[in-house]
C-alpha cells in the first residue's frame, strides 16, 4: 500500500521563494551608504567648500603650498615604503616556512601570527613600548652581547618596528594564499631538471609568488598611509604621519576643511598608486584560478 502511494506521488517541486536581488542587497547597501559612502562624499564636499559656503579649491592650494603639509606627506610616504619593505622581508620567509615546513610548525607559526591580531592595536603598541624601552629586553640583550643600548623608541626605527609588526599579518595572509596555490611539484621538477634547491626557488617558486608579494605590498602600503596610533606613541616629533596630522587638525585646531582636503588627497594618491602597481604586476593572476 505504502509502496503504491510512493509510486503515485509525483516528486513535489520545491517552491522557490523569489526575492528580488535588490532586496537581498539592501542591508549591505544601507550600511555602506550610511557609514562609508556618505562620510566619504561629505568629506569631499567639505574640502571643496569655502568659508562663505561657495565652491572653492583654496584648501587644495593650501595643502600644496603649506610646507608642513608637504613634509608630512613625504614622511608618510617614506614610512609606508620602509614598512612595506620590512613586512615583505619578515613575512616572506615566515610564510614560506608555514607553507612548506613541517605541518605542526606551520600551525604553531600561523597561530602566533593570528593570535596577537585579535588583541587591540593599542595594547600591542604599549607592549612594544615596554619591550623596546632602554630598560627593555631588547636593549638588555644588545648590551649583554656588547653592542650597547640603542635608541629604539620615539624615532623612525620605533615607528617602523611597531607598524611592521602591526601589519605583518596582512602580508602573511596575502602571501599565504598565494604560496599555497603554488604547486610544489614545480620546484621538484626544476630540481630534477638540474636546478639546485636555491636556483629552483629563485627561478620557479619566487616568480610564482610575485602576485602575492604585490598584493600584500599594496595592502600594507595603503594601510600604512592611514596609521596614526603607532607613529604617535612610538615615533618622535619628526615622525608625524598624515593620520596624526588630520587628527590634530580636527580635534585640536578645528580646521575641518583642511583635514578634509588632506584626507581627499591621501585617498586620491592611494587610489592612483594602487592602479599603477596593479597595472604593472597584473593582479588578475591572483584572482584567476590556476591552470
Binding mask 163-192 for another protein (x = CB under 8 A): --------------------x-xx-xxxxx
Distance CA 221, CA 224 (A): 5
Of residues 13 through 52, those in contact with another protein by CB under 8 A are none
Applying CB under 8 A, does 202 fall inside the site for another protein? no
C-alpha cell at 227: 596609521
Applying CB under 8 A, does 194 fall inside the site for another protein? yes
Residue (167 or 204) nearer to another protein, CB: 204
Residue (143 or 288) nearer to another protein, CB: 288
Applying CB under 8 A, does 207 fall inside the site for another protein? yes
Of residues 68 through 127, those in contact with another protein by CB under 8 A are none
Size of the site for another protein (CB under 8 A): 21
Compute the least distance from the CB of residue 187 to another protein, in Å: 9
Which one of residues 85, 121, 195, 250 is an interface residue with another protein (CB under 8 A)? 195
Residue 174's CB: how many other CB atoms inside 10 A? 26
Q: How far is CA 283 from CA 8, 92, 268, in A?
A: 56, 18, 20
Tell me the DSSP string of 84-121.
Answer: HHHHHHHHHHHHHHHHHS-HHHHHHHHHHHHGGGGS-H
- Across the strands, what pairs with 55? 49
Residue 281's CB: how many other CB atoms inside 10 A? 16
Note the residues at the interface with another protein (CB under 8 A).
183, 185-186, 188-197, 199-200, 203-204, 207-208, 290-291
Amino acid at each position: 500500500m505504502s509502496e503504491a502511494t510512493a509510486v503515485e506521488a509525483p516528486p513535489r517541486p520545491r517552491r522557490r521563494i523569489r526575492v528580488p536581488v535588490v532586496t537581498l542587497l539592501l542591508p549591505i547597501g544601507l550600511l555602506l551608504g550610511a557609514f562609508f559612502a556618505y562620510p566619504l562624499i561629505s568629506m569631499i564636499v567639505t574640502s571643496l567648500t569655502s568659508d562663505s559656503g561657495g565652491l572653492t579649491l583654496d584648501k587644495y592650494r593650501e595643502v600644496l603650498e603649506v610646507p608642513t603639509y608637504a613634509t608630512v606627506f613625504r614622511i608618510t610616504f617614506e614610512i609606508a615604503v620602509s614598512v612595506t619593505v620590512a613586512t615583505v622581508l619578515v613575512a616572506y620567509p615566515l610564510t614560506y616556512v608555514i607553507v612548506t615546513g613541517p605541518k605542526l610548525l606551520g600551525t604553531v607559526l600561523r597561530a602566533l601570527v593570528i593570535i596577537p591580531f585579535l588583541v587591540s592595536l593599542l595594547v600591542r603598541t604599549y607592549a612594544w613600548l615596554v619591550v623596546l624601552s632602554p630598560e627593555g629586553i631588547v636593549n638588555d640583550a644588545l648590551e649583554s652581547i656588547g653592542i650597547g643600548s640603542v635608541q629604539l623608541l620615539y624615532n623612525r626605527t620605533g615607528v617602523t618596528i611597531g607598524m611592521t609588526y602591526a601589519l605583518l599579518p596582512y602580508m602573511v595572509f596575502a602571501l599565504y594564499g598565494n604560496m599555497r596555490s603554488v604547486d610544489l611539484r614545480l620546484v621538484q621538477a626544476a630540481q630534477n631538471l638540474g636546478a639546485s634547491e636555491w636556483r629552483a626557488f629563485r627561478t620557479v617558486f619566487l616568480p610564482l609568488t610575485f602576485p602575492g608579494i604585490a598584493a600584500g605590498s599594496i595592502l600594507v602600503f595603503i594601510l600604512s598611509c592611514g596609521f596614526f596610533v603607532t607613529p604617535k606613541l612610538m615615533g618622535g616629533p619628526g615622525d608625524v604621519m598624515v593620520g596624526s596630522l588630520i587628527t590634530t587638525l580636527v580635534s585640536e585646531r578645528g580646521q575641518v576643511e583642511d583635514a578634509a582636503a588632506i584626507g581627499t588627497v591621501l585617498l586620491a594618491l592611494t587610489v592612483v598608486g594602487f592602479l599603477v602597481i596593479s597595472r604593472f604586476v597584473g593582479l588578475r593572476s591572483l584572482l584567476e584560478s590556476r591552470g
